[in-house]
Every structure is written in structure tokens, then in C-alpha cells.
Amino acid sequence: MTAPEKILWEKLKNNSILNLKFRRQHPIYKYIVDFYCHRLRLVIEIDGEIHENTDAKEYDCNRTYELEELGLVILRFRNDEIFKNLIGVLRKIQFTCENIISPPKSPL
């Protein structure tokens, strides 16, 4: 795992977000995702600098599309978000989990 992945894993392991179990380096289809919550079908990916080049962006876009076609929700964070705004990242993960568990009701 990369340094940002290790930092985030310390916050995800031991069911620390809403008592949800996350797995790291989990195989799904033809990919290995950084983190996965089976119960919510939630994938969390951490993107380093390599993901900034054109080929990597295209690959990531296709990968995200294929995973979403399997009914998965994908969250992506950049390395610097983990380093500079870990609390914000954790809030976004928790918010996403809460909305998957109990989607907001639309007004009629």
C-alpha cells in the first residue's frame, strides 16, 4: 500500500465508520480496488500522481464506468486530499455511506 492508502486504512479498518467492514486491495471483476465495502457495494480509490497523465485518466474513466455497470458506487480521492484534508475525506466517505444505507427522500 502507498502512504496515503495506509493512512486511510488506519481510519477504515476495525469497522470504524458506521460499523462497516472495509477490505483493502480487494479483487472485483478484472480489477483490484484500493478499498471495498461489500455491504454497500462501495469502492474507494486513492489516486497518486501517475493518475494525472492522459492515458491513466482514460484508463480510470473506463475502469470507473465498468465498475459502476456492476452496480458499484465509486469514490475517488487524490493523495494530497488524504494528506491535507483527511477529516474532509472521512466525512465524505461517511456521508456517502449514510446515503447508501438510507437514501434521502425526494419531495413529492
First to last CA, the chain: 46
What digits encode the pLDDT tens for the residues 49-107? 665 666 777 888 899 999 999 999 999 999 999 999 999 999 999 999 999 999 877 77
Across the strands, what pairs with 76?
Answer: 45
Task: Please name the helix (run of DSSP H) or strand (run of DSSP E) that holds residue 62, with its range, or none.
Answer: helix 54-69
- Alpha-carbon distance values, 54 to 49, 67, 89 (Å): 12, 20, 25
What digits encode the pLDDT tens for the residues 43-58? 999 987 665 666 777 8
